[in-house]
Structure 1
Amino acid sequence: MTEHSPILAPIVVLIAWSLVMWLWMYVRRIPAMGKAGIDSKTLVGGNGSDLRARLPAKDQWPADNYNHLMEQPTLFYAIALVLALSGTGGGWNACIAWAYVGLRILHSLIQVTINRVLVRFAVFTLSTLCLMALTVHAAIAVFCR
């Protein structure tokens, strides 16, 4: 068995969570479309923002969160892979990566349930601080060794 960097596990978990949110988005959105009188069989063109005007906000929250999971976490994936490839993906970096993933999952749960912006922003800020720490550690690993 090949040894792998511990930081790869949080990457896999966050990708899996993103797919859970993708499913949650459609479980919420498809029934809401039916209630709004939108026939998906005859629907041509359009995008998610077109649905915003026709669906209740609460039914849009999972889609909003799925979009968020396609944004900043892409930086996390890249920096975590840099840490893994530089041999510094264990120890504190793995712990910080797990904190980032936990905070992003918490952010998702807040956004799709109560969606309190101030609470969501606080969790987002904490996760961003984790990402900043990982970036500093990656820069040290790449430029100072």
Structure 2
Amino acid sequence: MEPAPAPAPAPAPAPAPAPVPAPVPVSEKVTYSADAFFQFNKAVLQPAGKQSLDDLADKIKAVNLETVISTGYTDSFGSVAYNQKLSLRRAEAVKAYLVSKGIPADKIYIEGKGKTDFRVDPKSCKGTFKKQIECQAPNRRAVVEIVGSRTVTK
């Protein structure tokens, strides 16, 4: 009798797949901004401004908030001193609204720029006083900037 052939060696096990690295959380800087516009000589938010700020407040919820800066501006009518105060009241109106939406007051800073940094050159606004007021509407605003970070996986 012949000896039985030796059994074939078992195939080498397939190499284990390389482990997939876990996503690494990375802090990413984010900046959002919004504008809120005001009526002539007023510091009361208009409905469109509230909507813009509502959208901004929703975006903030996904961010590790560092700071919010609300900057108020005016049109060119009136004295420098009066417009400086009015621009601060506009920035404060935005702050109060954002606080009502759950944004911490201690993270919100305000500043007033008065009658500076016009979006519409006052010299280009012609016609009656009413027409000039309408023309300068984009200058009566508060600009809100949000600075923070969010965690993303890369």
Q: Shorter-normalised TM-score: what interval?
A: under 0.3
The TM-score with structure 2 as length reference comes to 0.26
More helix by share: 1
More strand by share: 2
The TM-score with structure 1 as length reference comes to 0.27
Q: Higher Cα Rg: structure 1 or 2?
A: 2
